Structure 1
Amino acid sequence: MTALCARYRLQRGDLPGKPDVVMPGRKLVFFVHGCFWHGHDCARGSRVPKANRDYWLAKVARNKARDAAALAALSAAGWCVETVWECEMKNTGALKERLARILDQAAARALPSRT
């Protein structure tokens, strides 16, 4: 984010779900999720340990439900919510391009319309 010249704050505990990165001026939040812990549909996220399988399935389901509730609450409050997945961080070039697009879109939303 710093490389993209974007100002941000880390982990605002006063917002639903405690987003990892918050840009108050753009009403934009990011969650950085581990693929396993948040049930991403990639190879790492779809793996379930053999030991205590039922526990892990329930745990990840609870995490996904909590994530959905936080997303809904933030969206209802006017925040734009983005999720960055652990697996996306392996391709830093693509991630930087995605973040730049998101920031451009947020900046365009923040501009007052001229009518």
Structure 2
Amino acid sequence: MHVRWLSRQEGERVGEDVIGAWLDRIHDEYEEFAYRYVHAAYQVVRPPRRQARHGEVTLSAESDGGYLLRAGEWDPGLRLRDDAACEAFLAHLKGRYLRFGQSSMDVWEAAAHDRYVAGLHDWERL
């Protein structure tokens, strides 16, 4: 899969498409555990930015000042050209996942985890 840079020069719509495609891949690959990877991506991209790891998700600083965000070994990654692209990524996450009244990505992750655990309890009752 071709890895694209997300930058201000690409424009907002294209940037959203690149981020959305990356998130869709995370959901396709990790299914019911995708919420963990989404939240981990949020954690590593938040300032202060540096080489970071949260579970399987890594943020690597690139020599040109950009960052490579990867969710596991299989993931070719999402390249974030600069801090503005990182902020656009964070805004996209909040816009996509905080639509149902959650106040933060941490609250969203906790609610997603609660739904996952409730699903396990439903499974045990079968």
What TM-score does the superposition give when structure 2 sets the normalisation length? 0.30
Give 1 or 2: higher helix fraction: 2
Which structure is larger by alpha-carbon Rg, 1 or 2?
1
Per the normalisation by structure 1, the TM-score is 0.32
